[in-house]
C-alpha cells in the first residue's frame, strides 16, 4: 500500500494548499490512503465540521487532532458522529470521540489509525505507551489489519523516538506531530516500521510555526501579553511523509519525506 501522512495544517493558507494539491498527489504518488493532522486548520486553533467535510471531499481518509482538538466548541458533538475524525486515545474515559479506527482501503485492505498525545511538556494525560499497547492487543498488523499508523502528538523528540522504537515491527508508520517543523529523519526502523520524529506543518513557513511573525516575536521580546496570535497567510508548504508497505506483512518498504510548494526545498518521492 502507498500511504501519505500530512502534518499539522495551519490556517487558511495550509488548508487551501492541501485541498488544492491532494487530488494531484493522490494520482502522482498512486496513493491508497491519506491521513492529515487538522487540529490547527480553523484559523490556527482547532477544526470545524465544515473544514472536516472539505478535507474529506478533497480525498482525505482520516483526520487526526491533538491538544487543540477542542478549541472550536462545535467539534464536541461532531466528533462523536464522525469516525474519520480522531483525537488522542489517551484522553480520559468519557472524552468525546475516539482515539483509533479501522478504515477501508482499495482492494479490500484495512487500515488502522491510532493517535496518542505525549506527556512531556504537554497536558497530563493517561500513559500513551499503555494506550498503544492496548490497541495492539486488539488488532495485529499483517493479521487483522493490512496497515497500522500511529500519530504521536508531542513536544519532546525523545518521547516520540521512544514511541517509534516501542512500536517497531508492530506498526507500518509512527509519525510525530505538533512541533510544526519537519525533521530530517524519515527512515525505516530495524524491524520494519517507518518513522519520522515530526512530519512538519502544512502552512506558511515565513512565520513562527505557522503564526504571524511580529506578534510571536513580541511575546518573547517584551514578555507581556500582546496581540492575539493568528496564522500567517503567505504561500504554504505542504509537509509530510510517504510510506510504501509490504502487502503481506504490512511493514514499511520505504519511507520518504514530502515537501511541496512554498519556501522549503521541494521533495516528492519517485513512484
Rounded (10°) angle between helices 128-138 and 157-167: 20
Give CA separation, 81 vs 96, 101, 149, 190, in Å.
Answer: 10, 13, 22, 39
Determine how β-strand 238-245 pairs with β-strand 252-260: antiparallel
Q: State phi, psi for 17 to the nearest 5 degrees.
A: -65, -45
Q: Which three cell numbers stand for residue 22?
A: 491532494
Contact 34, 61 (CB under 8 A): yes
153 is catalytic: no
Question: What's the chain's Rg over C-alpha atoms?
Answer: 17
* DSSP β-bridge partners for residue 71: none
Task: Give residue for cell 515530526.
Answer: 198
Task: Give residue for cell 519517485.
Answer: 270
> Out of 43, 68, 153, 165, which one is annotated catalytic?
68
Q: State phi, psi for 21 to the nearest 5 degrees.
A: -90, -25
Catalytic residues: 68
Amino acid at each position: 500500500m502507498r500511504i501519505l501522512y500530512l502534518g499539522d495544517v495551519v490556517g487558511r493558507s495550509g488548508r487551501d494548499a492541501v485541498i488544492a494539491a491532494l487530488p494531484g498527489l493522490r494520482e502522482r504518488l498512486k496513493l491508497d490512503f491519506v491521513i492529515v493532522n487538522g487540529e490547527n486548520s480553523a484559523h490556527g486553533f482547532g477544526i470545524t465540521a465544515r473544514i472536516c467535510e472539505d478535507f474529506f471531499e478533497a480525498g482525505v481518509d482520516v483526520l487526526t487532532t491533538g491538544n487543540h482538538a477542542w478549541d472550536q466548541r462545535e467539534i464536541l458533538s461532531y466528533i462523536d458522529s464522525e469516525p474519520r475524525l480522531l483525537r488522542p486515545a489517551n484522553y480520559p474515559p468519557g472524552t468525546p470521540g475516539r482515539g483509533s479506527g479501522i478504515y477501508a482501503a482499495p482492494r479490500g485492505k484495512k487500515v488502522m489509525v491510532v493517535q496518542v498525545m505525549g506527556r512531556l511538556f504537554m497536558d497530563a494525560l493517561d500513559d500513551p505507551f499503555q494506550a498503544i499497547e492496548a490497541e495492539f492487543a486488539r488488532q495485529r498488523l499483517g493479521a487483522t489489519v493490512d496497515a497500522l499508523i500511529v500519530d504521536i502528538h508531542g513536544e519532546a523528540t525523545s518521547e516520540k523516538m521512544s514511541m517509534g522504537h516501542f512500536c517497531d515491527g508492530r506498526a507500518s508508520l509512527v509519525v510525530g506531530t505538533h512541533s510544526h517543523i519537519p525533521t530530517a529523519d524519515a527512515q525505516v526502523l530495524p524491524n520494519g516500521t517507518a518513522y519520522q520524529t515530526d512530519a512538519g506543518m502544512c502552512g506558511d513557513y515565513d512565520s513562527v510555526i505557522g503564526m504571524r511573525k511580529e506578534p510571536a516575536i513580541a511575546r518573547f521580546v517584551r514578555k507581556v501579553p500582546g496581540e492575539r496570535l493568528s496564522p500567517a497567510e503567505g504561500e504554504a508548504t505542504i509537509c509530510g511523509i510517504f510510506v510504501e508497505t509490504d502487502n503481506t506483512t504490512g511493514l514499511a518498504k520505504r519511507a520518504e519525506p514530502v515537501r511541496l510548494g512554498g519556501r522549503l526545498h521541494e521533495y516528492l518521492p519517485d513512484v
